[in-house]
Amino acid sequence: MLGAGLKKQSTMTGLGACLFLAGVLLLFFVLYHEAARAGPLPWITGALLIGTVLCWVASAEAETPRA
């Protein structure tokens, strides 16, 4: 069985990967469609990519053992 720390690390890594994929796809959509640049999509894209970084930081923190 996986330990609780490894389960959390795997979950955060997977969630970060999904957010990264969604952010990159949305970024390409925003860059190649002129009408999308004026709406909320650039802000949503930024939020997804920031969420990616936060998930990966949480995953890295779950990996380090606590003394």
| Model confidence pLDDT, tens digit, residues 3-52 | 666 777 888 899 999 999 999 999 999 888 877 778 888 899 999 999 99
CA dihedral (12, 17, 21, 27) positive or negative: positive
| 8 A C-beta contact, residue 48 and residue 26 | yes
Tokens of 16: 């970060």
At 59 the three-state DSSP class reads helix
Q: What is the pTM of this model?
A: 0.80
| 8 A C-beta contact, residue 41 and residue 27 | no
